[in-house]
Amino acid sequence: MVDTAHPGDGAPRAADAGEDAADPNFMTSLARGLSVIRAFTEREPNLTIADIAKITGLPRAAARRCLLTLMQLGYAGSDGRTFFLKPKILALGYSFLSSAPLATILDPLIEQVSGAVQESCSAAVLDEDDVVYIARAATKRIMSVGLNVGSRLPAYCTSMGRVLLAAMPEADLNAYLARVPLKPFTERTITATDALKRELERVRERGFSLVDQELELGLRSIAVPIRTASGGVVASVNVSAQAARVTCPEMETQFLPRLLRAAEEARVLLVRSRGM
């Protein structure tokens, strides 16, 4: 649940919480502990105190105290030199999933889509500047980075991310574009702000996003929004496939209709479950 499969990124630096720390209600120790947890990734499951300090920006002594506290609570372990997360950490993510109607509703729907098209299907929400996976049905591993529930990817070059960005109010989108560096992951990645804005407008007009090898060469994905009864976008769902196996037109003809049906079913179920 804490996999931060975000190419090139580590945990949020605890030192970046300076403004929040001025709030008398802000718990610096909790913020530090959470930054330590998020430092662990699929690529770096074992970290030393020095590693944690570098990734989070914490003093080594503070990083050590956080790790030892996590060990005492059963959330982390150590082999004597490095530290690692233990299965109990999954309870933190499960608390969200078990209380979130979206994840509960979308999980069987994406399983159905994945089974029908025989490709990986996922659902995600926007969290800060990334998309976070809340449900996933994978038929095979098609990316170099493993994706699971809780994984994070940049919003600007992913199909689900673009669906969610396209639904943002203009002021929020402009703030996002001013804040987030558009790094190229492949030679196809859109890295110019004006070009990305044009693509997001196209997503709004078409009602879906198709991203062709912008996050990783050989990977194509297509996504649609999950809407509430009032039309607000609360999540997105996608199908991903290897570019060598499925063309872009085939993505639209084979996958898009099933995604749209799943999105409509999710909208109806959300209304029934929570009146959203």
Chain centroid to CA 22: 29
Query: By mean pLDDT, which of 131-145, 220-234, 257-271 is the weakest?
Result: 131-145
Residues 72 and 207 in one domain: no
Q: What does pTM read for this prediction?
A: 0.69
Identify whether the C-beta of residue 94 lies closer than 8 Å to the C-beta of residue 6. Answer: no
159-202 tens-digit pLDDT: 999 999 999 999 999 999 999 999 999 999 999 999 999 999 99
* The pLDDT value given to residue 6: 43
Average pLDDT, stretch 203-209?
96
Residue 121 lies in a domain: yes
Residue 200 lies in a domain: yes
DSSP per position, 29-84: HHHHHHHHHHH--SS---B-HHHHHHHH---HHHHHHHHHHHHHTTSEEE-SS-EE
* The pLDDT value given to residue 68: 94
Q: Higher-confidence residue: 134 or 214?
A: 214
Structural domain including 36 reads: 14-91
Residues 160 and 249 in one domain: yes
Helix (H, G, I), strand (E, B) or coil at 180: coil
Tokens of 20: 């929040």
Query: By mean pLDDT, which of 20-24, 129-133, 178-182, 226-230 is the weakest?
Result: 20-24
Question: In sequence order, which residues have a C-beta less than 8 Å from that of residue 211 and are 6 or more positions away?
Answer: 157, 158, 159, 162, 220, 221, 222, 223
How many domains does the structure of the chain reveal?
2
Residues 51 and 146 in one domain: no
- State percent of the chain over pLDDT 70: 84
Q: Is the pLDDT of residue 100 over 50?
A: yes
Residues 259 and 191 in one domain: yes
CA distance 131 to 145: 15
Residue 9 lies in a domain: no
Residue 1 lies in a domain: no
From the list 213, 209, 220, the residue with the least C-alpha distance to 259 is 209
Residue 2 lies in a domain: no
Domain's final residue, options 91, 113, 140? 91
Residues 137 and 210 in one domain: yes
Question: 176, exposed or middle or buried, with CB in 10 Å at 0-12, 13-18, 19+?
Answer: middle
Can you give the length of the chain in residues? 276
| pLDDT band at residue 151 under the 50/70/90 scheme | confident
CATH code, domain with 168: 3.30.450.40
Chain centroid to CA 121: 14
Residues 82 and 174 in one domain: no
Residue 26 lies in a domain: yes
Residues 218 and 264 in one domain: yes
Mean pLDDT computed over every residue of the chain: 85
Residues 128 and 235 in one domain: yes
Residues 182 and 228 in one domain: yes
Identify whether the C-beta of residue 1 lies closer than 8 Å to the C-beta of residue 100. Answer: no
Q: Higher-confidence residue: 22 or 103?
A: 103
* The pLDDT value given to residue 66: 94
Residue 231 lies in a domain: yes
CA distance 65 to 41: 20
Residues 105 and 84 in one domain: no
* The pLDDT value given to residue 27: 85
Domain's final residue, options 91, 112, 147? 91
Identify whether the C-beta of residue 102 lies closer than 8 Å to the C-beta of residue 270. Answer: yes
Domain's final residue, options 91, 111, 141? 91
What ranges in 76-137 are assigned the alpha helix state H?
Answer: 90-99, 101-117
Identify whether the C-beta of residue 22 lies closer than 8 Å to the C-beta of residue 57. Answer: no
Q: Is the pLDDT of residue 10 over 50?
A: no
